[in-house]
Amino acid sequence: MQSEDETTVRVLIADDDPRVLGALRAFLSTSSGFTVVASASSAPRAVELARERAPAVALVDVLLPGERDGLRLLRTLSLELRIPAVAISVQSELCGYALAAGAYRFLDKDSSPDVLLATLRAAAGHT
């Protein structure tokens, strides 16, 4: 496990698919300059963890369970908690909705790892 310092990006992940959540957590945990401070499979739990763990950035699945939970979570994180959030989804047609809800940027779930890392770093202000 890496030590945290001022250049380490603290990430919260919100995704309801346990395989995706696990893969993202493993990838980010082994990526230099990143630490996963929390992960959640629902919007209410993500909000709770965001308040407790103070991540620098959140990675949010737009299609969390419940009608528009991912979009609601994006609004809460970005507007209420002032945590920049990167929206992800397999449905690229949700991009406009995610950006309107306050997402810093929208990425397809099949975006390259380098794009994901660069986007998270930029959103957290560690460019």
Asked if residue 126 has pLDDT above 70, the reply is: no
The CATH number of the domain holding residue 80 is 3.40.50.2300
Check residue 93 and report its DSSP letter. Answer: G
Domain annotation covers residue 3:
no
DSSP conformation class of 38: E
Task: Give percent above pLDDT 90 in the chain.
Answer: 88
Averaged pLDDT, 16-35: 96
Copy the structure tokens of residue 37.
Answer: 């401070």
- 65-108, pLDDT tens digit by residue? 876 789 999 999 999 999 999 999 999 999 999 999 999 999 99
Tell me if 27 is assigned to some domain.
Answer: yes
Asked if residue 54 is part of any domain, the answer here is yes
Residue 2 lies inside a defined structural domain of this protein: no
Residue pointed to by tokens 């959030």: 85
Look at residue 66 in the predicted model and tell me its pLDDT: 77
Q: Which domain holds residue 78?
A: 9-123
CB 39 within 8 A of CB 23: no
Provide the domain count of the chain. 1
pTM over 0.85: yes
* 4, part of any domain: no
The length of the chain in residues reads: 127
Question: So what's the pLDDT on residue 5?
Answer: 57
More confidently predicted of 45 and 68: 45
19 found inside a domain:
yes
Instruction: Report the b/e string of 90-102 with b at 16+ CB within 10 A.
Output: eeeebbebbeebb
Residue 108 host element (H or E):
strand 105-108
**Alpha-carbon span 2 to 67, nearest angstrom:** 37
- Distance separating alpha carbons of residues 24 and 28, to the nearest angstrom: 6
